[in-house]
Structure 1
């Protein structure tokens, strides 16, 4: 399953050449990732996904320029890897006809009170597996 996020384009996102600045795409990914993480939180008093997290790595392939327009761009994201203390999230920024960017982010759950990374809980792993890409799942990318 993939999470979908509709990302508005802002005039201030454009650079002098009239397309979305490369650094702004990182903010788009962040907006989509925050929306995804809020969606994952099960509620009902569960502590899963309620703590913080930090980005350990971004990898971005810019495929096409995105110019300003009034309609939002779609960001699809899904999980490609789950390890004991990190997850890898993949993204595609696109519309109906064009993929503008493909990216991945390694996210580490973080305990800010103790100032250190923490392990992903069994409940969090179960929820994340719902968004695990089928190809990754078949290749055994889930590390338990």
Structure 2
């Protein structure tokens, strides 16, 4: 499958694979995709919220409420990093959805979408996004993730 660019990425992160990411079948295990997305997300937060308190966002709390991954091609270990494109697909009062394309220069391996919730650790509950956080997320907003199995 060739790389399909349907959405300009708000951020593309290069993420290295680990030898231990492979499973008995010789490809990156499905559980490791969640780790790869998490690592990319942390990099996005550092860039997107740098002027509005990216560290504050992580310190105050962000919960992963949902994650959906559609696997398109097998990804096998290699020393070259993979690319993860990320953008915001929806924005609510305390939550937002992020879209992802996991790829290299030639192949799209997977697409994913996550729902994240701003969380107040001290109060143990969701909190509304600040105006600065909302502005940072709005600047990265794009279209839906083009998953094949969605109707």
TM-score by length of 1: 0.87
2 CA distance for matches of 1:45 and 1:104?
24
Alignment counterpart, residue 111 of structure 1, candidates 120, 123, 129: 120
Q: CA RMSD in A?
A: 1.8
- 1:121 deviates by 1.2
1:36 is matched with which residue? 44
Q: Give structure 1 regions of 4+ aligned residues with deviation exceeding 6 angstroms.
A: 44-47
Structure-2 change in CA distance of 1:74 and 1:84 (3 Å): same
2 CA distance for matches of 1:73 and 1:46?
24
* 8 Å CA contact 1:58, 1:103 repeated in 2: yes
Gaps of 5+ in 1: 137-144
* 8 Å CA contact 1:9, 1:70 repeated in 2: yes
TM-score by length of 2: 0.83
Alignment counterpart, residue 68 of structure 1, candidates 74, 77, 85: 77
